[in-house]
Structure 1
Amino acid sequence: MKVTMIGAGYVGLVSGACFAAFGTDVVVVDVEPAKIEALKQGRMPIYEPGLDNLVAENVSDGRLTFTTDLKSAVAGADAVFLAVGTPTRRGDGHADLSYVYAAARQVAEAATGPLVLVTKSTVPVGTGREVQAIVREARPDLAIDVASNPEFLREGSAIGDFMRPDRVVIGAENERAFAQLKRLYRPLYLIETPIVATSIESAELIKYAANSFLAVKITFINQMADLCEKAGADVHDVARGMGLDGRIGRKFLHAGPGYGGSCFPKDTLALARTAQELGAPVTIVEQAVVANEARKAAMADRVISALGGDAKGKVVAILGVTFKPETDDMRDAPSLVIIPKLLEAGAKVQAYDPQPHYARQVLPDAVSFVETAIGAAHGADAVVLLTEWNEFRAIDPKKLKLAMAGTVLCDLRNVFDPVLMRECGFQYSSIGRM
């Protein structure tokens, strides 16, 4: 079976490498020659644990190749996946589907035989129907089945999520398309992974609904954390008591500075806009979007308050700037809001992150990047833990305090033990805990 993956971004590259690991011949196509050349040389355009080794193994075995030539890559393919970007469209919050539609037309024009064209990108409900219309207009002479197969990959654990998923969702209209995709996912079927076979519209909506529900869950526990602070309760105890209820579950009940990343901010906004247009507004999601943006700004105010209400001339050390650990992704990271606000307040910001490549490109030039966590704390009036990389959990609090000029420690991920930190002499604050 030959599979073509259009797009060598996060989803396309991880999915292509994993399909190749299943024993499938995969060609990954991208329009950026520099990216393809780097991949051919074994250099990854993103940081994802284990991806470099997985790609190298499958390239060496001849199952995974990279090219900029879409026409040759599509020729003879049994399945073609669209894994191109769907960024938020400026002005209205909708997903920009121009890349999806352009790629669909190019694939149809390049096809040399029947195939299944699969949308892997996260797209609003109704996109599949538009793709069908484009394909039929471009190639009325050819049987091209359109399907939806949304991805559920978490950055930092994407390979494990692909190889051992909770479920595989396949949206299609005929048994021919279902059979082709079930064949492709046979290794997962053999380990009894649930396969959800449904309509194209349902598959598209499953992805948005899942991400939006998780975003609402995060927003809920963040607001409970604020309530805990006012009431003298501990959000960790509240979250544990809630999470032990099987109907609720423990995951995503971790208070923090707000969600970010490539999925939740974009998908919640797109779902809200689509629902409004269809006359069935999802107001709970709309409110989660508003609350999450406000929370990021409020975190900067917390730091300034911890500094006595005035950050002018103060040195603030930021530990972790990516939106989550085990990734270099900066899309909608809380740091993109918090750090500029601290700079506007007159603070000097010095930061450390284990994967700072993209952070250096998108954060203000005024931010000084250093090579270690202790180095970032050197001479700081306040240390702010913003992303919970594992290495921060092992920081020696005595060394941290010795490096600092002040004693303020703002733990925005609730990583540290409050009692221990205060015993070490820190003016310690966290989220939803006294």
Structure 2
Amino acid sequence: MSRKSDSEIKDTLLLKISERSAKLGIIGMGYVGIPLAVAAGNSGFPVLGFDILKGRISQLNACQSPIKHIPNSALEKLKVSGFEVTDDFTRAAECDALIICVPTPLDKTREPDLSFVESTMDTLRAHLRPGQLLALESTTWPGTTQEVLKPYIQSVGLDVGTEFFLVYSPEREDPGNAKFSTHTIPKVLGGDTENCREVGVALYEAFITKVVPVSSTKAAEMTKLLENIQRSVNIGLMNEMKVVADAMDLDIFEIIDAAATKPFGFTAYYPGPGIGGHCIPIDPFYLTWKAREFGLHTRFIELAGEINAAMPSYAVNKLVRVLSERGKALKGAKVLVLGIAYKRDIDDVRESPSVLVMELLRNWGADLSYSDPYVQTFPVMREHSFDLRSVPLSPETLAQQDAVLLLTDHTDFDYEMIAAHASLLIDTRGVYRRLGITVPTA
């Protein structure tokens, strides 16, 4: 049987995409992969999930969602159309498109750790074939797709751009944001070649409302970093302003709200106990690392990172000061942390500043507990460990505490009840000012 020509390979894949018969393999069934599977499956594509965690595989195949904003019913709907999750990576050969959504953390020296991406490619390499599209969605430094992924494809004799298609399209998930979903958030996409970009755009346009093509995979990688660096820098500025305002006995939240009445030239960002999630605390350092290759030192980005990283210590030091004014040491004090997710109304604790605050409190010798309606048991984490369960909030529980530290402003908290029964309450999110409730502080 004669081999298909290059144009036939591309046209065949484009036809499968247009007919929704192209099978999508999504590698990494977590906070990015699961919503992506739902969006693609709801648009009619057959979806096969891949993961290495046995528990996660069993959970998803039983249609039990591990993510709060993805209901079990969404997985049940996919199951009807054949959705399943496996750790058998030989089945990657079945897939017409493979989308990588694995973690890209930093190591202990704040350098990029691409081990999950590289191990994925090590596993996939033997199962790549002509007529496939490979997309990377994990956040990384500009050049990763071209310099790291492309050689894997070439090593098995596949020509990128003619018989195999390679793109980068950064994830833009925002858990807990009811206004946007995977389907409605515009998708930036860069291809290794024009053919790659054409195929990538065709795929994502089939289940994403708007696709934004850019000139290269490197441009798409840089776009993702810019988005999160901008937030990091602006939040860093507000965190620094918070420290200055506190020293001047000013309410930074009042000042931000007043400044936000200006109808042009000002965007409101708010301070807090630090920054969290899988993007903002990590992404800026991918660029600072890559910039060193060009002899550049990204001082502005690194300064924002330093300020944000110092905020957990600032919150704890404020608690130490307020307790000491009441004649109480932090060591042995009963401290209740409200909220350990990295932002309101989600169950994700990745890079959460609350966890860093908890570690500092433990180091000070505090008698520590937490309450979070979305995180009932402190999860297993690579670098943090607490043998704690969420305690129910009640007047009795609150009255037993020497201090209550509000770190994540979940809407499910009964803020009036908390203020009425806590003897000392430190609000790091400005919730009580927003609600007009007086809090018991020194």
Instruction: With the length of structure 1 as denominator, give the TM-score of the two structures.
Output: 0.86
Cα deviations across residues 219-272 of structure 1 (Å, max 9, x unaligned)? Answer: 11111122222344432343235444544433xx11211101211112122222
Q: What amino acid maps onto 1:87 in structure 2?
A: P
Q: What amino acid maps onto 1:211 in structure 2?
A: N
Q: What amino acid maps onto 1:289 in structure 2?
A: G
The whole-number CA distance in structure 1 between the counterparts of 2:235 and 2:117 is: 30
Cα deviations across residues 158-199 of structure 1 (Å, max 9, x unaligned)? Answer: 89331211x21111133332232222233567x5x3523321
Counterpart pick for 1:79 among 57, 74, 97: 97
Cα deviations across residues 195-226 of structure 1 (Å, max 9, x unaligned)? Answer: 23321111111111211111111111111122
The whole-number CA distance in structure 2 between the counterparts of 1:18 and 1:4 is: 13
Residue 329 of structure 1: aligned partner: 348
The whole-number CA distance in structure 2 between the counterparts of 1:176 and 1:290 is: 42
Moved more, 144-153 or 112-121: 112-121
Q: Does 1:134 align with 2:152?
A: yes
Shift of the alpha carbon at 1:100? Answer: 1.3
Shift of the alpha carbon at 1:417? Answer: 3.2
- Secondary structure (helix, strand or coil) at the match of 2:352 reads coil
Counterparts of 1:131-280 in structure 2 under 5 Å?
A: 131-140=149-158, 143-157=163-177, 160-165=180-185, 167-187=186-206, 193=210, 195-243=212-260, 244-250=262-268, 253-280=269-296
- Secondary structure (helix, strand or coil) at the match of 1:161 reads coil
Q: Say if 2:344 and 2:410, in contact at 8 Å, map to a contact too.
A: yes
- Secondary structure (helix, strand or coil) at the match of 2:48 reads strand
Residue 391 of structure 1: aligned partner: 412
Shift of the 367–301 alpha-carbon distance from structure 1 to 2, 3 Å rule, reads farther
Residue 80 of structure 2: aligned partner: 60
Q: What amino acid maps onto 2:68 in structure 1?
A: E
Q: Does 1:286 align with 2:302?
A: yes
Q: What amino acid maps onto 1:313 in structure 2?
A: G
Residue 361 of structure 2: aligned partner: 342
Shift of the alpha carbon at 1:31? Answer: 1.9
Structure 2, unmatched stretches of 5+, are 1-21
Q: Does 1:34 align with 2:55?
A: yes
Q: What amino acid maps onto 1:220 in structure 2?
A: L
Q: Say if 1:105 and 1:138, in contact at 8 Å, map to a contact too.
A: no
The whole-number CA distance in structure 2 between the counterparts of 1:49 and 1:177 is: 32
- Secondary structure (helix, strand or coil) at the match of 1:163 reads coil
Shift of the 223–18 alpha-carbon distance from structure 1 to 2, 3 Å rule, reads same
The whole-number CA distance in structure 2 between the counterparts of 1:85 and 1:304 is: 36
The whole-number CA distance in structure 1 between the counterparts of 2:285 and 2:123 is: 28
Residue 12 of structure 2: aligned partner: none
Shift of the alpha carbon at 1:344? Answer: 3.0
Q: What amino acid maps onto 1:380 in structure 2?
A: Q
Shift of the alpha carbon at 1:324? Answer: 1.4
Residue 431 of structure 1: aligned partner: none
- Secondary structure (helix, strand or coil) at the match of 2:343 reads coil
The whole-number CA distance in structure 2 between the counterparts of 1:158 and 1:391 is: 16
Shift of the alpha carbon at 1:69? Answer: 1.5
Shift of the 228–371 alpha-carbon distance from structure 1 to 2, 3 Å rule, reads same
Cα deviations across residues 95-153 of structure 1 (Å, max 9, x unaligned)? Answer: 21122123234334213432111111112111111211121012347822211010111
Moved more, 335-344 or 130-139: 335-344
Residue 427 of structure 1: aligned partner: 441
Q: Say if 2:204 and 2:211, in contact at 8 Å, map to a contact too.
A: no
Structure 1, unmatched stretches of 5+, are 429-434
- Secondary structure (helix, strand or coil) at the match of 2:99 reads strand
Cα deviations across residues 283-329 of structure 1 (Å, max 9, x unaligned)? Answer: 11111111112111111111111112522332212111121123222
Q: Say if 1:49 and 1:157, in contact at 8 Å, map to a contact too.
A: no
Counterpart pick for 2:403 among 370, 382, 395: 382
The whole-number CA distance in structure 1 between the counterparts of 2:253 and 2:96 is: 50
Percentage of matched positions with identical amino acids? 23
Q: Say if 1:50 and 1:159, in contact at 8 Å, map to a contact too.
A: no
Shift of the 27–158 alpha-carbon distance from structure 1 to 2, 3 Å rule, reads farther
Q: Say if 2:339 and 2:406, in contact at 8 Å, map to a contact too.
A: yes
Cα deviations across residues 324-377 of structure 1 (Å, max 9, x unaligned)? Answer: 123222222122222232233332122111122562545654756412364641
- Secondary structure (helix, strand or coil) at the match of 1:123 reads coil
Q: What amino acid maps onto 2:352 in structure 1?
A: A
The whole-number CA distance in structure 2 between the counterparts of 1:122 and 1:195 is: 17
Q: Say if 2:373 and 2:390, in contact at 8 Å, map to a contact too.
A: no
Cα deviations across residues 83-104 of structure 1 (Å, max 9, x unaligned)? Answer: 11212123x3222112212323
Q: What amino acid maps onto 2:441 in structure 1?
A: Q
Q: What amino acid maps onto 1:427 in structure 2?
A: T
Q: Say if 1:315 and 1:381, in contact at 8 Å, map to a contact too.
A: yes
The whole-number CA distance in structure 2 between the counterparts of 1:261 and 1:297 is: 18
- Secondary structure (helix, strand or coil) at the match of 1:339 reads helix
Shift of the 173–137 alpha-carbon distance from structure 1 to 2, 3 Å rule, reads same
Residue 322 of structure 2: aligned partner: 306
Q: Say if 1:150 and 1:207, in contact at 8 Å, map to a contact too.
A: yes
The whole-number CA distance in structure 2 between the counterparts of 1:375 and 1:47 is: 31
The whole-number CA distance in structure 2 between the counterparts of 1:200 and 1:245 is: 36
The whole-number CA distance in structure 1 between the counterparts of 2:88 and 2:251 is: 56
Q: Say if 1:330 and 1:358, in contact at 8 Å, map to a contact too.
A: no
Shift of the 49–41 alpha-carbon distance from structure 1 to 2, 3 Å rule, reads same
Moved more, 271-280 or 126-135: 271-280
Shift of the alpha carbon at 1:282? Answer: 1.6
Instruction: With the length of structure 2 as denominator, give the TM-score of the two structures.
Output: 0.85
Residue 14 of structure 2: aligned partner: none
Residue 6 of structure 2: aligned partner: none
**Structure 1: 4+ residue segments shifted above 6 A:** none
Q: What amino acid maps onto 2:165 in structure 1?
A: D
Q: Say if 2:99 and 2:137, in contact at 8 Å, map to a contact too.
A: yes
